[in-house]
Structure 1
Amino acid sequence: MTKTVLITGTSSGIGAHTAVAAARSGWRAVATMRDVSRAGVLTELARSAGVLDLIDIRALDITDLDSVTSCLDGVIADFGALDAVVNNAGAGHVGTLELERIDDVRTVMEVNFFGTVLVTKAALPHLRASGGRVLTVTSVGGVVGQPFNEAYCAAKFAVEGFMESLAPVAATVGVTVVVIEPGAVASGFVGNVGLDATGLMASAGPYAPALTAYLARTAGAFAHAQSAADAAGVIISALTAEDVPFRMQTSPGARAFAGVKLADLDGSGVIGLTTTWVAS
């Protein structure tokens, strides 16, 4: 019997590659995105891999309860069960508190945290029935706070704390919870940040020297980014392996970076590292 996985944020990048990799592993991949007219990248990847028949593309806005409910109800009606969810949808954000509106911070939380919670809540009864898995793509930014990423890291920290707290409770009813932490990934996600470096610099005021240093450092990091396909491979291992840990990083670089925080009891290691990112 073909198992079904619902994946959010599949129009490009990690999500698209995860949907195709899941289908190549024999799963039916319900590939969701806000705007299905943007499915061209996913469709071409699936066609090239010969798995288009196992890709089911559906509209889903993770921030809209009606959309989430309708999508999950449709999946169960059509396929009878749901065996896993991959919470991948999200949006980056660059800014610092003094220079942005509180509404901007709220929006980042809505997309990256509450959207993930909405999908997970809707899926849990079905995953409980199937003994399924919740796999959530967070970020090393959910472990290490990063300059000019206060809102984004806050949202990802919240997701990590939520899932870490949920994991032992969900396990009592047969549901496995995993978080997957990519570092820099060469994907459309960078474009989704909507980064206007010129505009940011023009309004940076006293933060201009720090922002200049941060943007230069970030450009260098993404110049050596992991491929989206490689990151998706780690997600598929979390989907299919018999035993899986709660926390997984997608690359050696991500493991080393997360390890700085997890071994840093007083915070000096992290602050010492990230201070160098904004040194002019």
Structure 2
Amino acid sequence: MHTQSSGIGRILITGGASGLGAAVAAAVHDHGGIPIVLDRDISSVRDVSAYQVDVSDTAAVTETVQRAAEDAGGLDAVVTAAGIDRCGRLEDVSVEDWELVVRVNLLGTVSTVRAALPALKASRGRVLTVASTLAFKGASDATAYCASKFGVLGFTQALAAELKGEVGVTQLIPGGMKTRFFDDRTEQYKPQDDSQLNDPENVANAVIFALSQPSGCEVRELFIAHAEEPSWP
């Protein structure tokens, strides 16, 4: 049986091949932990355990998380960084795209956590879910994204109440970051000035802070953004 020997342990990260997830994986490695990456495309991942899976597929996520936990001899934390958006007015976004956002952002979070729970309970580990500033304030042309992230917030708060004393639960609320998240948007929905976007490495360091708390101490909610973040408060 694997036992945690250094750093912050075995950390499973969805969306871990790019953006915030990749920054978290790098930070976990730098702090002596063992990053375990889940992503739809793992071709860019080097020197760490990686599993290819689409988090919108609940059955595949369940099997992959369980296999990753078994391969690692357990898990000490899960970070649900996988997320997508499909911008547009409700009547202009296809049903398929709208529902995909909810399946990835909300149901993908839920299925990952559910599958990891036995391992996390065994290690008295932690869950860190990733919401958004738009989990608090709705925005036009973002009904799917807001609905999914409001859902993540409610799920996480209920989970924290359900698992208190067994598994730590933290809600991360990042503002906009300089990642490829915006790449597939049409021009009107891309940031026109990235000077107000945070470096994902800063957010990853905040994740490490939350995961590094001593037993019995929980960071329940962690908001981190660029000083000029326009979507908050």
Q: Same fold (TM over 0.5)?
A: yes
Counterpart Cα distance in 1 of 2:211 and 2:197 = 23
Gap runs ≥5 in structure 1: 44-51, 198-211, 261-280
Contact 2:69–2:75 (8 Å) recurs in 1 = yes
Partner of 2:219: 245
Contact 2:40–2:53 (8 Å) recurs in 1 = yes
Residues 257, 99 of structure 1: alpha-carbon distance in 2 compared, 3 angstrom cutoff: closer
Counterpart Cα distance in 2 of 1:254 and 1:93 = 24
Counterpart Cα distance in 1 of 2:230 and 2:89 = 26
Q: Which amino acid aligns with 1:239?
A: L
Counterpart Cα distance in 2 of 1:63 and 1:102 = 15
2:35 alignment partner, one of 18, 29, 37: 29
- Bigger shift: 16-25 or 76-85? 76-85
TM superposition shift of 1:257: 4.9
Contact 2:196–2:228 (8 Å) recurs in 1 = no
Partner of 1:58: 51
> What per-residue deviation string (whole Å, max 9, x for no partner) do you get for residues 204-236 of structure 1?
xxxxxxxx6xx58x423x332111111111111
Counterpart Cα distance in 2 of 1:72 and 1:177 = 18
Contact 1:137–1:180 (8 Å) recurs in 2 = yes
Gap runs ≥5 in structure 2: none
Counterpart Cα distance in 1 of 2:111 and 2:15 = 14
Question: Larger helix proportion, structure 1 or 2?
Answer: 1
1:234 aligns with 2:206: yes
| Residue-pair matches, total | 225
TM superposition shift of 1:18: 0.5
TM superposition shift of 1:60: 2.3
Residues 64, 162 of structure 1: alpha-carbon distance in 2 compared, 3 angstrom cutoff: same
Q: Residues 159-178 of structure 1: matches in 2 within 5 Å?
A: 159-172=152-165, 174-178=166-170
Q: Kindly name which structure, 1 or 2, has the bigger radius of gyration based on alpha carbons.
A: 1
**Moved beyond 3 Å, runs of 4+:** 252-258
CA-based RMSD: 2.0
Partner of 1:203: none
Partner of 1:153: 146
Residues 230, 77 of structure 1: alpha-carbon distance in 2 compared, 3 angstrom cutoff: same
> What per-residue deviation string (whole Å, max 9, x for no partner) do you get for residues 227-273 of structure 1?
11111111111111223321101236488954x3xxxxxxxxxxxxx
1:186 is paired with a residue whose SS is coil
